[in-house]
Chains A and B, each alone.
Chain A
Amino acid sequence: EAQVTQNPRYLITVTGKKLTVTCSQNMNHEYMSWYRQDPGLGLRQIYYSMNVEVTDKGDVPEGYKVSRKEKRNFPLILESPSPNQTSLYFCASSLYDGQPQHFGDGTRLSIL
């Protein structure tokens, strides 16, 4: 089944404790992206990747890092999480840049 898989689905952690949210897609998509979803603000793009080893900032990249060492995986790294990063995070992928994106089921992060 074609899908985008995120882990974990839920995480409660404390300020400053590094965490990684993994994202994997099995559709051989070139384009992958991370979004955060906050009430009243819609989906805002954090980082995106056009292909392996090609990443760039989205609209709200501060406090986040990403890497794309393999085509299928696009982890989101919070080196020193802060409470304002409490949010619902979505990974998405598409065959190419500009194509409709397929979304994972989300990761709800709570930073205390």
Chain B
Amino acid sequence: GQQLNQSPQSMFIQEGEDVSMNCTSSSIFNTWLWYKQDPGEGPVLLIALYKAGELTSNGRLTAQFGITRKDSFLNISASIPSDVGIYFCAGLPPTSGTYKYIFGTGTRLKVLA
């Protein structure tokens, strides 16, 4: 089935640094979502993108829907310790039937104070 490649798998960064991560696919998507999962909790929706080229911000987070519709990027500016967690992308492929989101395997972010 369709897969999403999410990178990097994990990263250590210093507090205050900017962070970038991305998801890529071999096929196109109509919607891209970015979630964050804290330890012991479920994923929480951060940003939803619905149009190719769309750039959307949520506080220090900015995500973009790639122009080819095969990728999406998430940037976190001026990271803080509470940014620690796992970030997931999810893509919704075109379908003539039931919608089914495809999830990436996550980027584990660790912030060093």
A-B contact count (CB 8 A): 49
Q: Does B42 contact A (CB under 8 A)?
A: yes
Q: Are A97 and B42 in contact (CB under 8 A)?
A: no
Interface size on A, residues (CB 8 A): 24
Interface size on B, residues (CB 8 A): 23
Q: How near does chain A come to B9, taking the closest CB pair, in angstroms?
A: 9
A contacts with B: majority SS: strand
Q: Does B74 contact A (CB under 8 A)?
A: no
B contacts with A: majority SS: loop
Q: Are A90 and B98 in contact (CB under 8 A)?
A: no
Which residues of chain A have C-beta atoms less than 8 A from B99's C-beta? 97-98
Interface string of A70-112 (1 = CB under 8 A from B): 0000000000000000000010100001101111111000000
Interface string of B63-106 (1 = CB under 8 A from A): 00000000000000000000000001010100000111101111
Question: Taking beta carbons and an 8 Å cutoff, which residues of B are in contact with A?
Answer: 1, 4, 31, 33, 35, 40-45, 48, 88, 90, 92, 98-101, 103-106
